């Protein structure tokens, strides 16, 4: 009897150890800093490392996850709880183990400003990505690299995947800040001045807002100009709530891709421009990107 109890106890300890190992969370480094020569300042970023990162020697696929307007590199961690959703999805086999990197984009919309004073796009592509992928065990290839983001970050996701399709296997813009020309022309002056003037041209009104800088960074214009082959080389997951003020732009993006016969996933769920919507959508977005990392 004593021997049987001892065996049962040992089995219980083993099972508990296995369970604890399986549930070990990933590691979050909330504040890393990259000194940027292009921007002339330090840029903060947050990084999520999968649960087995520190116990293995393997390299991992990567997803760049971009925050929205007025947030910073901690937004997806603090409000989106992305680490918790990633832990759960990895444990359940919904997504493969992956590294998730969240840079601080300030209010740059992740592009180069029209006047050249802030070249965030150059920083991200030429400086940030290479530095991160040298610093961690990352598979630095297109087929193992994805990008996602919300609102302003959804816009950045589209800009980078449309301009640099050779770099990304998949893109998942959530509630992306997509506007057509008419929305720009009729935008209240205060909205233009406070948000978009610094990007596309200060002091512009009406049709003068349809500047060279605007067309160089309009997702709808980029879709219209890119070849079908280039568009098809990236897998797209587009998700925007039915009560979101950005629904129209995302619908137009869906139609533009559909008219060019570009396969993509388009989702309209119940909800608005809220963290509840993005939290409930991030796992599906990461799962979609994760499929791209498989053969």
SS3 134: helix
Does residue 125 belong to any structural domain of this protein? yes
17 domain-assigned: no
- CATH code (residue 62): 3.40.50.1820
Please report the pLDDT score of residue 295 as a whole number.
73
Same domain, 113 and 89: yes
| Domain assignment of residue 18, yes or no | no
User: Could you tell me if 212 and 117 lie in one domain?
Assistant: no
Residues 190, 134 share a domain: no
b (16+ CB within 10 A) / e for 267-295 = bbeebebebebbbebbbbbbebbbebbee
Specify the number of domains making up the chain: 2
Looking at the structure, tell me whether residues 97 and 209 fall in a common domain: no
State which residues form the domain around 65.
25-179+218-292
Other Cβ atoms within 10 Å of 62 Cβ, number: 25
The reply to whether 20 falls in a domain is no
Same domain, residue pair 201 and 249: no
Please give the pLDDT value at position 9: 55
Whether residues 62 and 184 share a domain: the answer is no
Q: Of the candidates 260, 251, 268, which has an alpha carbon nearest to the alpha carbon of residue 232?
A: 260
Q: Could you identify the residue written with the tokens 């506007």?
A: 179
Q: Specify whether 138 is located in the same domain as 209.
A: no
How far is it, in rounded angstroms, from Cα 8 to Cα 206? 77
Q: What is the pLDDT of residue 24?
A: 87
Same domain, 282 and 140: yes
Question: Are 146 and 227 part of one and the same domain?
Answer: yes
pTM of the predicted model as reported, rounded to 2 decimal places: 0.92
- Beta strand segments in 69-169, E: 99-103, 145-150
Q: Would you say residue 209 lies in a domain?
A: yes
Q: Is residue 14 part of a domain?
A: no
pLDDT value at position 34?
A: 98
Domain assignment present for residue 278? The answer is yes
Other residues' Cβ atoms within 10 Å of the Cβ of residue 35:
11
**What parts of the chain have a pLDDT lower than 50?**
1-2, 13, 16-21
Query: Do 265 and 184 share a domain, yes or no?
Result: no
């Amino acid at each position: 009897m004593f021997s049987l109890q001892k065996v049962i106890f040992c089995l219980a300890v083993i099972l508990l150890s296995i369970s604890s190992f399986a549930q070990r969370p990933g590691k979050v480094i909330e504040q890393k800093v990259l000194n940027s020569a292009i921007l002339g300042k330090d840029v903060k970023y947050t990084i999520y490392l999968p649960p087995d990162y520190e116990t293995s020697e393997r390299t991992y696929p990567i997803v760049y996850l971009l925050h929205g307007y007025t947030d910073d590199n901690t937004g997806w961690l603090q409000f989106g709880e992305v680490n918790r959703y990633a832990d759960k999805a990895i444990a359940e086999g919904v997504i493969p183990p992956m590294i998730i990197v969240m840079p601080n984009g300030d209010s740059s919309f992740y592009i180069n400003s029209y006047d050249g004073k802030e070249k965030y796009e150059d920083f991200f592509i030429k400086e940030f990505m290479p530095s991160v992928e040298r610093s961690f065990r990352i598979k630095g290839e297109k087929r193992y690299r994805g990008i996602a983001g919300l609102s302003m970050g959804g816009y950045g996701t589209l800009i980078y995947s449309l301009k640099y399709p050779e770099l990304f296997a998949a893109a998942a813009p959530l509630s992306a800040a997509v506007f057509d020309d008419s929305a720009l022309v009729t935008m209240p002056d205060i909205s233009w001045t406070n948000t978009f003037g610094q990007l596309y041209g200060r002091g512009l009104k009406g049709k003068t807002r349809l500047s060279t800088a605007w067309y160089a960074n309009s997702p709808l214009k980029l879709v219209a100009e890119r070849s079908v082959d280039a568009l098809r080389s990236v897998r797209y997951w587009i998700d925007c709530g039915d009560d979101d003020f950005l629904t129209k732009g995302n619908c137009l993006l869906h139609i533009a891709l559909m008219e060019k016969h570009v396969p993509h996933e388009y989702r309209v769920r119940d909800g608005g421009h809220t963290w509840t919507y993005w939290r409930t959508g991030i796992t599906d977005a990461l799962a979609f990107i994760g499929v791209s990392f498989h053969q």
